[in-house]
Amino acid sequence: MTADIHTYEPRLGHGLPHDPFNAIVGPRPIGWISTQSATGALNLAPYSFFTAFNYVPPIVGFASIGAKDTLRNIEATGEFVWNLATHDLADAMNQSCAAVPPEVSEFELAGLTPLASEKVRPPRVAESPVTFECRSTQIVQLQGIDGEKVPTWLVLGEVVAVHIAKALLKDGVYDTAGAGHILRGGGPADYFTVGPEQLFRMHRPA
């Protein structure tokens, strides 16, 4: 049986053409995060390690692998916005991945429109159908089992305002299947989308 299983210790390497970890833990929601520096410069970047962590209060978080502009801006201002990346916005989201100096706005680079938020200073992506305005609650530098710090920071934030396109509310219920969410998969370039064909329902046991 074990002859049919590929086993490895991550610290010793995976022995494969591409690290499978990201592909196994996926597909993952995209943390498309907009921030603003203390001097007003705008930043927009996607993060593939993103999820929700709590209902009440609603808390979302993402991991910054490396101390990037997004992390520095949140450290300086305590605020950020999550913007839903959809299939229609995939190319623009990808453009916002570009490694550019802090003074270059990814909004302009990707042809997107900054829209003023209501509770925080960073703008929303006007073209995105769902956005969360957030205030940072914790920034935690990760560490390994040896206690050594690694250059990755978990940024958590409480959602203080939610904006949803009314077209995505069907009888008051958010239409995940119809929204066109895109998610990050494994490999160097794999993405997935969510549609009605993937939808199935299971109710919790009584």
Give the mean pLDDT per block of 10 residues along the chain (206 residues): 87 92 91 97 97 98 96 98 98 95 93 98 98 98 97 98 98 95 90 92 92
Q: What is the pLDDT of residue 1?
A: 58
- pLDDT value of residue 106: 96
- Predicted pLDDT at 18: 87
pLDDT at site 3: 84
Judge if pTM exceeds 0.85.
Answer: yes
* CA–CA dist 87, 48 (Å, integer): 15
3-state secondary structure of 116: coil
- Exposed/middle/buried for 179, CB within 10 Å: 0-12, 13-18, 19+? buried
Q: Do residues 60 and 126 make contact, with C-beta atoms less than 8 angstroms apart? A: no
Distance CA 33, CA 50 (A): 10
